[in-house]
Chain A
Amino acid sequence: MALWLVALAAGAAVFNPVADAMQHPLGQLVVFGYSLALVYHGLNGIRHLMWDLRIGLEIKQVYQSGYLVLGLTFLVTAALWLAV
């Protein structure tokens, strides 16, 4: 993200190679993995904040929310990429 912004501010000569790398299939794979990790971190963060509020602390609920987060991660990430 910082790299992308700095490259953009530095001008087209710096930005274009960065954009090309991101558009390359391997670059897209990296970006996709990053987005997947971001969505997972965000959803699991909500799970942690709920625990802080003493919600869902039973061991069965902990497992359920874990699988829920995992499933939602793939759904949300897929939805985002389909929307782009």
Chain B
Amino acid sequence: MVGSVARGRIMAQILAKHPRELGFGHWRWQRISAVATLGLMLYFTYLVASMGSLDYSAAMAFVAAPQHAVALAILVIAGLFHAALGVQMIIEDYIPLASGRLALVTIARGVFAIAAMASLVSVGMIAGLI
């Protein structure tokens, strides 16, 4: 049986060797992005619900307004970051893979990164910044 002091020392050694492999960073960032997105959640859901009733010129005017452009940009960054972490967790916990897990996680991250980039560029274009 390993005592708690010895266990702590072993954990410290693992952490020194593989600083990213304990998953604490993932857990922490998942919560940070969750709290960051939480405040924008009602706003976003309201926007999703009203999307159908906005025509082209109304939608352009809405997104181009500085307060909405900034809110959407934060939402895209924090929300898709949170989504990427969540999908990584689903892959790691629920897809039984002997190999290729890292590749799958990387692909998922790439998809979310592209979606985030495309959204940010779009908001920039609509707001007349690009």
Give the interface of A toward B (CB within 8 A): 1-2, 4-6, 8-10, 12, 15-16, 19, 22-23, 27-28, 31-32, 34-35, 38-39, 42, 45-46, 48-49, 52, 76-77, 80-81, 83-84
Contacts and interface: CB of A to CB of B under 8 A. Distances in A.
B101 interface: no
A2 B45 contact: no
B88 interface: no
Interface residues of B, number: 33
Interface of B: 31, 34-35, 38, 41-42, 44-46, 48-56, 59-60, 63, 72, 76, 80, 115-116, 118-119, 121-123, 125-126
Tell me the dominant secondary structure on chain B's binding face: helix
Given A2-B119, A5-B119, A31 B38 contact: no
B49 A15 contact: no
Given A38-B48, A45-B38, A16 B31 contact: no
Nearest to A82: B49
A84 B50 contact: yes
Contacts, number: 90
Given A38-B45, A42-B41, A6 B52 contact: no
Given A5-B123, A31-B52, 5 more contacts: A2-B119, A2-B122, A39-B41, A45-B38, A46-B38
A33 B5 CA distance: 50
Contacts of B35: 49
Nearest to B80: A2
A52 B129 CA distance: 40
B31 A22 contact: no
Query: Which of B38, B59, B80 has the largest count of A CB atoms less than 10 A from its CB?
Result: B59
A42 B38 contact: yes
Given A9-B125, A35-B45, A80-B45, A19 B55 contact: yes
Given A28-B52, A31-B49, A34-B48, A9 B121 contact: yes
